[in-house]
Amino acid sequence: MDDKDWRILKAIAEERNITKAAARLFTSQPALTYRLRSMEEEIGAQIVSRVPSGVVFTPQGEYLLAYAAEMAQRFDKVKEQIKNMENKVQGALRMGSSAVFAHYSLPKMLKGFLAQYPEVEFSLKTGLSYQVLRILERQEISLAIVRGEHGWEGEKFLLTEEPVCLVSMEKIEGEDLQHKPHIRYNTDTTLQKEMEDWWRHNFKTPPNTTMEVNTMDTARQLVLHGLGWTILPAIGLPKNDTLIVQPLTWRDGTPMTRKTWLLCADGALGLLTVKTFIDYLRACSQAV
């Protein structure tokens, strides 16, 4: 078995369907089926079983899949190390990012980096910060950009720290906030907890939540149309926004802020491409 076989098993595991896996790998269904049978002959056991919805892995197949995932990761690291030996910024750079940071800040940074280093092959996965952290823990990526505080014992760098703000179309004073329509949105548990803690420290009754939406962008649009207020980190507020923005503080006067961290997998700093990208990100963040 080789790297191509490991990728085949990964595609089948994610698609749970031979035809879809073949399309994803830009090959034909008969060719993929033939290769799968060859793998089964090689290991002397059935890898997948067909079911009405597609295929499922047998116990032997699940064991082989875990091995294949480990070997694929090792092979990726070997390729990175070999590229690094040439002392040139090139090769694969695998990272994950908070979806919020990927939406608002990362595209411009990536465009600038790849303009300087066009031989870098960049791959990106996004999600909520805790999801990106799990991918980093599984060693599927070399770098992770997460927002908020997370338990990470490895190397990490602070990229940004921004205020968290109350936003509305008109200024809202003190107790009036309890009666105005509140717009809630899905976000990382760390930010959600901070917002709830801030509210409990200032008010004895729950906010008058009238709308619950998926993203902070949607919440901001609803606020722009005068449909309520919400709390947003400054990353989601364009500089030319027409909203009333009031940075929040805790009772002791400490500003409520949101930090963005860059986390590194073990050994990643030894790779020239990774180190160069880290330096570039930190320089970009300091220039903002």
107 domain-assigned:
yes
Q: Looking at 46, 78, 110, which one is the last position of a domain?
A: 78
Instruction: Say whether both 68 and 152 belong to one domain.
Output: no
In this prediction the pTM is 0.69
Instruction: Say whether both 157 and 49 belong to one domain.
Output: no
Q: Looking at 40, 56, 78, which one is the last position of a domain?
A: 78
Instruction: Say whether both 66 and 105 belong to one domain.
Output: no
Instruction: Say whether both 110 and 218 belong to one domain.
Output: yes
Instruction: Say whether both 214 and 121 belong to one domain.
Output: yes
- Long-range CB pairs of 265-271 (<8 Å, 24+ gap) are 265/136, 265/139, 265/141, 265/142, 265/143, 265/154, 266/139, 266/154, 267/77, 268/142, 268/143, 268/155, 269/155, 270/84, 271/80, 271/81, 271/84, 271/142
Choice between 286 and 39, residue whose per-residue pLDDT is larger: 39
Instruction: Say whether both 24 and 134 belong to one domain.
Output: no
Choice between 248 and 65, residue whose per-residue pLDDT is larger: 248
Local confidence band at 266 (pLDDT 50, 70, 90 cut-offs): confident
Q: Give the domain extent around 165.
A: 90-288
| Per-residue model confidence (pLDDT) at position 6 | 82
pLDDT tens-digit map of 79-89: 766 666 566 77
Instruction: Say whether both 61 and 94 belong to one domain.
Output: no
Instruction: State how far the Cα of 129 lies from the Cα of 150, in Å rounded to an integer.
Output: 9
Instruction: Say whether both 157 and 242 belong to one domain.
Output: yes
The token duo for 12 is 């089948």
Number of structural domains found in the chain: 2
| Burial of residue 23 (number of CB atoms within 10 Å: 0-12, 13-18, 19+) | middle
Instruction: Say whether both 74 and 97 belong to one domain.
Output: no
Mean pLDDT of the region 206-222: 94
Is pLDDT of 170 > 70?
Answer: yes
Given 3-state DSSP classes, what are the helix, strand and coil percentages for the chain, each rounded to the nearest 5? 50, 25, 30
Instruction: Say whether both 246 and 142 belong to one domain.
Output: yes
Mean pLDDT of the region 7-25: 88
Mean pLDDT of the region 184-204: 91
Mean pLDDT of the region 204-221: 94
85 domain-assigned:
no
Mean pLDDT of the region 247-259: 93
Instruction: Say whether both 67 and 155 belong to one domain.
Output: no
- Nearest-5° Cα angle at 174, 173 to 177: 80
Strand, coil or helix: 210? strand
- Concatenated DSSP letters for 87-154? TSS-EEEEEEEEHHHHHHTHHHHHHHHHHH-TTEEEEEEEE-HHHHHHHHHTTS-SEEEEES-----S
Q: What is the CATH number of the domain that holds 216?
A: 3.40.190.290
